[in-house]
């Protein structure tokens, strides 16, 4: 049996006297698609906040590839390969759509110095074009991201997460709006 990519073990999260998560246990394997559903206010976003390090749980643990990550900061968890799409699109509105895709492509570890940046930039431009086509955004490539309709902003952010080559994508209400 293969080890789960992400494990949430008996996670509880309290805010003052309000218990939002109660003993949540969840395992996610590579290539799996899971949907966490429930009414507004039931704790879906709070669970994502705990997994991504935005909140520390009151009790319980979060594991990634067999290593406990419970109290790591969000940037460290993102670097490990767990990324998140927020309810409101997190794009760079003043940059062109293609530039939004190039940022995660050029922000990966190991890109430093002018020559590696130049090589990475060439690869990033090619990969950006692939993602623009895949997500139906090629006609808007040179357009400012702020000018996109809301639905296309959502797709742009998902494309940015794919560009980051993350291992786990957490999509918080990807069709909202």
pLDDT for the residue 114: 47
* Domain ranges, ordered by start, for the chain: 6-80, 97-165
pLDDT for the residue 104: 85
Structure tokens at 118: 């130049």
CATH no. for 6-80: 3.40.50.300
- End-to-end CA gap in the chain: 40
**For residue 138, how far is the Cα from the chain centroid?**
22
Q: Residue 37: which H helix or E strand, with range?
A: none
Structure tokens at 86: 């927020």
Q: Tell which residue, 138, 143, 105, has the closest CA to residue 122.
A: 105
Residue 93 contacts by C-beta under 8 Å, 6 or more apart in sequence?
A: 144, 145, 146
According to DSSP, residue 56 is labeled -
* pTM of structure: 0.83
> What is the spatial distance between Cα 33 and Cα 175, in angstroms, rounded to a whole number?
16
Bridge-based pairing of strands 67-68 and 6-15 is unpaired
Q: What is the pLDDT along the chain (177 residues), one digit of tens a residue?
A: 578 999 999 999 999 999 999 999 999 999 899 999 999 889 999 999 999 999 999 999 999 999 999 999 999 999 899 999 887 778 999 999 998 998 888 776 554 444 444 555 567 788 889 999 999 999 999 999 999 999 999 999 999 999 988 899 998 887 776
pLDDT for the residue 107: 73
User: Do residues 44 and 36 touch, judged by C-beta distance below 8 A?
Assistant: yes
Sign of CA dihedral 9, 85, 169, 41: positive
> What is the spatial distance between Cα 159 and Cα 83, in angstroms, rounded to a whole number?
12
């Amino acid at each position: 049996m293969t080890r789960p990519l992400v494990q949430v073990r008996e996670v509880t999260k309290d805010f003052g006297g309000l218990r939002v998560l109660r003993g949540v246990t969840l395992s996610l394997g590579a290539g799996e698609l899971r949907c966490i559903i429930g009414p507004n206010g039931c704790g879906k976003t709070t669970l994502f906040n705990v997994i991504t390090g935005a909140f520390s749980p009151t009790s319980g643990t979060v594991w990634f590839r067999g290593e406990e990550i419970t109290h790591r900061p969000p940037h460290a968890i993102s670097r490990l390969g767990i990324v998140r799409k927020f309810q409101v699109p997190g794009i760079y509105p003043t940059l062109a759509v293609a530039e939004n895709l190039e940022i995660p492509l050029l922000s990966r570890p190991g890109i430093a110095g002018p020559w590696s940046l130049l090589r990475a930039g060439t690869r990033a431009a090619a990969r950006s074009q692939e993602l623009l086509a895949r997500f139906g955004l090629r006609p808007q490539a040179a357009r400012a991201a702020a000018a996109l309709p809301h639905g296309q902003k959502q797709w742009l952010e998902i494309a940015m997460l794919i560009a980051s080559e993350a291992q786990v994508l957490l999509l918080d209400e990807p069709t909202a709006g």
